[in-house]
Amino acid sequence: PKTTGHREVPEKVALAENALAVLNKRYLKKDKQGNPIETPEDMLRRVARTVAAAELVYNPRCDVRDIENEFYGLMARLEFLPNSPTLMNAGRELGQLSACFVLPIEDSIESIFDAVKHTAMIHKSGGGTGFSFSRLRPESDRVGTTGGVASGPVSFMRAFDVATDVIKQGGTRRGANMAILSIDHPDIEHFITAKQQAGVLTNFNLSVAITDKFMAAVRDNGEYDLVNPHNGEVFARRKARAIFDQIVQLAWKTGDPGIVFIDRINAENPTPQLGKIESTNPCGEQPLLPYESCNLGSVNLSKMVKGNGKKEVDYDKLGYTVRTAVRFLDDVIDVNKFPLEQIAEQTRRTRKIGLGVMGFADMLIDLGISYNSPEALATAEAVMGFVQSESHRASEALAAERGVFPAYEGSMYDGKVKMRNASCTTIAPTGTLSIIAGCSSGIEPHFALCFTRNIMDGTRMIEVNPCFERAARDGGFYSEDLMKKLAEGAHLEDMTEIPAEVKKLFVTAHNITPRGHVMMQAVFQKYTDNAVSKTVNFPADATVPDVEGVYLMAFDEGLKGITIYRDGCKADQPMSTGKAE
Ligand code: CDP
């Protein structure tokens, strides 16, 4: 059965120059000399055709061309895009379509190096990997077979880091990893400080898995036990405050480690009967079971506004887009070529998908709402609430048509509502997708109105925010000089020639307080099955207690995790304002 009626299909996809550059470099099929042999339209057609083929599994007599055209139209209008591996690999030899993986690591050399190998295979196909290192015995523990001493989690992480570097040299997208260590692991202090030297573990994000019990001990100024996972013995006792302070201090200094609230993640684990969740994917938005993978996709909210003059959210269009996108992502599972048999099995058992949004900041500007206002929070609540309920309804409709996910029995939906997918929504960073779609990334405010973007291989590009350029031209204050000043790091609020309402509408990440960032993340988390990728920006002069306050607030506001970024705290920023070299 069809979703709903057809929409216009553009002959050519309206791609900005830098979107084309990104596609040319990494997404389009190339010949042996490295010249693209497909157009962006060919690429989207390849993706739509490959994914729609899954429809035949359920209904061999369906009009698959019709569904292919709907999928194609959604992408060609830049209203929805699947995660990068789907764009890159669908209908091609690799055929691996997911961005997110979690691999188990048991306390043995064999398991550790199996995981290194599996990581290499996943990175080769454009996926990212997360691991919990919490099961490994601590550094200097005895090793039974040789009588020697163990290296500990942090040393073994280096093996993954080097493997990631080697694969990166193959020229595909840069591999990314998440390492999680439980707050009560004996090596926790070593882990917390593991990235303090420059150039170490550069392919890893670190997150400490924090328990509710630990948070209570922080509040009560109490102590807690470090436990050796190898034998279950208490290794030492620590003051919870001392460890928490250390985490906060280092996050202030370098941005690492982040934290994840692992008990909260497990309280919302949709399939607890299959085991506990110990890790997330690299950017933290997708908690997964060992060997589970998930494919993501994002609706471009900047395309979901209607009206001339007084504008409003186009809920008809958003509903259609969400329903079609859910169908698309569910189809992806059936045509995906998984890198390992265990991953294929585990993924098909839960059928998790992660639909999210991008272009939220652009949508707000179009609606005339400042990101930094109560109306912005209310819009987030309404829009994400709608995306969440529509995606669940779409998954229910698919369950009626195709059956529930195989691990439904014993899941949190069992006996309540029949679902095709154990989870439906995830908010990804959309680092590249937003460039392709030409919109603001994920749910982030604009980072700057004019900036230089560092992309892979050290290429730098100058970008003027298109909404701002339009507003400046319409408002009659556009000038080359103004754009140049902004690109060199000048702030809009300091410029006398700019009208006050423009300044208010075009707030950037730096104009929003860290607490404002957390509030926005919390609203989106409330309506997201999985987790939310969001950076909480701090000004360079923020203090350690400022960071501490935000970490505590993140816990109180119901976040599943948090990462912060203090301006200038890392040498190698992905984006920066200031003069291009
Ligand atoms: O925009 P795009 O689909 O390329 O990716 P994203 O939304 O920025 O990131 C989504 C997820 O893709 C991350 O959380 C990782 O799991 C994975 N990823 C990766 O493995 N390597 C990267 N260089 C970027 C993303």
Residue 205 · residue 177 · CB < 8 Å: yes
What is the tens place of the pLDDT at every residue in 305-326?
999 889 999 999 999 999 999 9
**Average pLDDT, integer, range 561-568:** 91
Q: Determine the pLDDT at residue 171.
A: 58
Atom of ligand 1 nearest to the CA of 433: 1
Sign of CA dihedral 326, 327, 330, 332: negative
Calpha distance 100→286 (Å, rounded): 7
Atom of ligand 1 nearest to the CA of 431: 8
Residue nearest to atom 6 of ligand 1 (CA): 430
Residue 168 pLDDT greater than 80, yes or no: no
**CB-ligand 1 contact for 282 (6 Å cutoff):** yes
Atom of ligand 1 nearest to the CA of 130: 16
Residues paired with 103 in a beta bridge:
131
**CB-ligand 1 contact for 577 (6 Å cutoff):** no
Atom of ligand 1 nearest to the CA of 281: 16
Calpha distance 10→367 (Å, rounded): 25
User: Domain residues of the chain, as ranges?
Assistant: 100-280
More confident: 568 or 13: 13
Atom of ligand 1 nearest to the CA of 285: 14
Residue 160 pLDDT greater than 80, yes or no: yes
What is the tens place of the pLDDT at every residue in 110-146?
999 999 999 999 999 899 999 999 999 999 776 766 6
**CB-ligand 1 contact for 509 (6 Å cutoff):** no
The DSSP string of 466-493 is HHHHHHHHHTT---HHHHHHHHTT--GG
**CB-ligand 1 contact for 124 (6 Å cutoff):** no
**Residue 470 Cα distances to 18, 128, 420, 449, 494, angstroms:** 18, 36, 43, 12, 20
Atom of ligand 1 nearest to the CA of 175: 21
CA torsion, ordered 545, 550, 555, 556, to nearest 10 deg: 100
Half-sphere CA count of 509, side-chain side, radius 13 A: 25
Residue 417 CA to ligand 1 center (angstroms) comes to 31
What is the tens place of the pLDDT at every residue in 246-291?
999 999 999 999 999 999 999 999 999 999 999 999 999 999 999 9
Calpha distance 341→348 (Å, rounded): 11
Which residues are the active-site residues?
Answer: 281, 283, 285
**CB-ligand 1 contact for 343 (6 Å cutoff):** no
Q: Determine the pLDDT at residue 483.
A: 86
Q: Determine the pLDDT at residue 169.
A: 58
Residue 353 CA to ligand 1 center (angstroms) comes to 15
Residue nearest to atom 7 of ligand 1 (CA): 430
CA 352 vs. chain centroid, Å, equals 15
Residue 70 pLDDT greater than 90, yes or no: yes
Residue 447 pLDDT greater than 60, yes or no: yes
What is the tens place of the pLDDT at every residue in 367-423?
999 999 999 999 999 999 999 999 999 999 999 999 999 999 999 999 999 999 999
Share of the chain above pLDDT 90, in %: 79
Residue 390 CA to ligand 1 center (angstroms) comes to 25
**CB-ligand 1 contact for 288 (6 Å cutoff):** no
**CB-ligand 1 contact for 395 (6 Å cutoff):** no
Q: Determine the pLDDT at residue 348.
A: 98
What is the tens place of the pLDDT at every residue in 87-97?
999 999 999 99
Residue 80 CA to ligand 1 center (angstroms) comes to 16
**CB-ligand 1 contact for 433 (6 Å cutoff):** yes
**CB-ligand 1 contact for 83 (6 Å cutoff):** yes
How confident is residue 569, by pLDDT bands cut at 50, 70 and 90? confident
Q: Dig out the tokens for 65 from the structure.
A: 């061309």
What is the tens place of the pLDDT at every residue in 196-225?
888 899 999 999 999 999 999 999 999 999
**CB-ligand 1 contact for 283 (6 Å cutoff):** yes
Residue 159 CA to ligand 1 center (angstroms) comes to 21
Atom of ligand 1 nearest to the CA of 533: 14
Residue among 432, 434, 535 whose CB has most ligand 1 atoms within 8 A, to mutate:
432
> What spatial distance separates the first Cα and last Cα of the chain, rounded to whole Å?
55
Calpha distance 111→549 (Å, rounded): 39
Q: What value does the mean pLDDT of the chain take? A: 92
Q: Which amino acid is at 231?
A: N
Residue 581 pLDDT greater than 80, yes or no: no
Give the residue from 332, 342, 278 showing the smallest Cα distance to 117.
342
Q: What is the pTM of this model?
A: 0.94
Residue 86 CA to ligand 1 center (angstroms) comes to 11
Q: Determine the pLDDT at residue 455.
A: 63
Residue 571 pLDDT greater than 90, yes or no: no
Residue 573 pLDDT greater than 60, yes or no: no
Q: Determine the pLDDT at residue 488.
A: 83
**Residue 342 Cα distances to 110, 274, 304, angstroms:** 16, 14, 39
**CB-ligand 1 contact for 431 (6 Å cutoff):** yes
Residue 574 pLDDT greater than 60, yes or no: no
**CB-ligand 1 contact for 100 (6 Å cutoff):** yes
Share of the chain above pLDDT 70, in %: 94
Residue 457 pLDDT greater than 80, yes or no: no
Q: Determine the pLDDT at residue 570.
A: 66
Residue 99 CA to ligand 1 center (angstroms) comes to 6
Residue 430 CA to ligand 1 center (angstroms) comes to 7
Q: Determine the pLDDT at residue 4.
A: 46
How confident is residue 7, by pLDDT bands cut at 50, 70 and 90? confident
Q: Determine the pLDDT at residue 329.
A: 98
Instruction: Specify the residue for token string 């400042």.
Output: 370
Give residues with Cβ within 8 angstroms of 518, minimum separation 6.
536, 550, 553, 554, 557, 559, 562
**CATH numeric code, 100-280:** 3.20.70.20
**Average pLDDT, integer, range 164-170:** 78
How confident is residue 456, by pLDDT bands cut at 50, 70 and 90? low
How confident is residue 450, by pLDDT bands cut at 50, 70 and 90? confident
Q: Determine the pLDDT at residue 2.
A: 43
Residue 83 CA to ligand 1 center (angstroms) comes to 7
Calpha distance 16→37 (Å, rounded): 20
Q: Determine the pLDDT at residue 491.
A: 86
